[in-house]
Structure 1
Amino acid sequence: MLRLLQGRRSVRAYLPDPVSTEQLTYLLEAARWAPSPHGRQPWRFAVITRQEARQRLAAAMGERWQQQLALDGQEPEIVQIRLQKSHERILTAPAIVVPCLYLEDLDTYPDPERQAAETTMAIQSLGCAVQNMLLAAYGLGLDGGWMCAPLLLPRHRA
């Protein structure tokens, strides 16, 4: 197991080889075995393989990210380079799995302290599920990478 953990790397350039339905199912099954608060598994996964959907996702993410980078004071040339790399990464990945957290699936409590803890546990469990998928992908000989830009589009539909 340690070799699996040490060998896995996030990659940013992908081969054009398709990921099979069987492989994607295997990755989703690996995610299902992640720990979750009270066994609720408050997550779902959107699997994007169609080029048109990837293009819409890349465009929406790029537009929002460009605004954020400008607010950060990044130079316009640097912003364009970063956007181009991100865009290429999304468009060349043969499959994208978008993890989605469903807070309404959690237990509810009358006090904010326990509710906040429930939310924290849900976020942690989603991270565990994604890690399971990344390790399973590596075990299958596939490369993958964690990408944070989709957080900028919490309500977007590809």
Structure 2
Amino acid sequence: MDALEAIRSRRSIRNYSGKPVSRDLVKKLLEAAMCAPSAHNQQPWQFVVIEERETLDRIPDFHPHSRMLKTAPLAILVCGDGSLFKDADFWPQDCAAATQNVLLAARALGLGTVWMGVYPKENLVSGLRSLFGIPQSVIPFSLIAVGYPAEEKPPVSRYDEGRVHWGKW
């Protein structure tokens, strides 16, 4: 699948077949994440790969929009590492770019994903920090459910010419 097809056909998948995702595919997703652009090439990200069923099932206890983890075979937690910030203003954009790269790479590899927001919601940040023993200098940013889709969603065009301004507002 080419890049534009992956972009146009990527959808949030909330039902998974339960089939395990190989470590090889997970590594490809993480490689894609780490290819993301980064302000001043800081690359302030760290990743937690979550495969344990019991742990995945605990996340919806404090993250109200994560029920799909009950059927997902894994999740990837994208974090910003404060020890890697040279300029602390841009780490959220860097982590968002890494998150988007995971979503697009997964689509291209035949996997489904959904992006769950974490940062800046303190209850979500602290819940994940506590569950995974994440140090205070590292900030959980986003959580991505990953798996083989058990649902198909057609592509949706979101292009809106009314939001395009050529040369000036």
Taking structure 1 as the reference length, what is the TM-score of the superposition? 0.72
More strand by share: 2
Give me the whole-angstrom Cα distance separating, in 2, the residues matched to 1:130 and 1:142. 15
| Number of the residue aligned with 1:135 | 104
Moved more, 51-60 or 139-148: 51-60
Structure of higher RCO (CA pairs closer than 8 Å, 6+ residues apart): 1
Distance 1:149 1:14, change over 3 A: farther
Offset at 1:134? 0.6
Shift of the 21–8 alpha-carbon distance from structure 1 to 2, 3 Å rule, reads same
SS in 2 for 1:24: helix
For residue 60 of structure 1, report the CA deviation from its aligned partner: 3.3
How far apart are 1:9 and its partner, in Å? Answer: 0.8
1:93 paired residue among 36, 57, 72: 72
- Residue equivalent to 2:130: 156
Residue 72 of structure 1 corresponds to none
Aligned to 2:61: 59
Q: CA deviation at 1:149?
A: 5.0
**Partner in structure 1 of residue 148 of structure 2:** none
Q: 1:95 & 1:129 partners in 2: Cα distance?
A: 17
Query: After superposition, what is the alpha-carbon deviation per residue over 1:48-86, rounded to whole angstroms, capped at 9, x for unaligned?
Result: 111111122222334xxxxxxxxxxxxxxxxxxxx7xx4
Residue 102 in structure 1 maps to residue 81 in structure 2: yes
Matches within 5 A, 1:1-158: 1-62=3-64, 86-87=66-67, 89-107=68-86, 118-149=87-118, 151=121, 152-154=123-125, 155-158=129-132
CA shift at 1:122, angstroms? 1.2
1:26 and 1:14 map into 2 onto residues whose CA distance is: 19
Q: What letter corresponds to residue 20 of structure 1 in structure 2?
A: S
What letter matches 2:74 in structure 1?
Answer: A
Letter in 1 for 2:71: T
For 1:119, what is the secondary structure of its paired residue? Answer: coil
Scaled by the length of structure 2, what TM-score is found?
0.68
Q: Where does structure 1 lack aligned partners over 5 or more consecutive residues? A: 63-82, 108-117
CA RMSD of aligned residues (A): 1.8
Structure number with larger C-alpha Rg: 1
* CA distance in structure 2 between the aligned counterparts of 1:124 and 1:149, rounded to whole angstroms: 14
| Bigger fraction of residues in helix | 1
Q: Distance in 2 between matches of 1:93 and 1:57?
A: 12
Aligned length: 125
Which amino acid in 1 is paired with 2:95? L
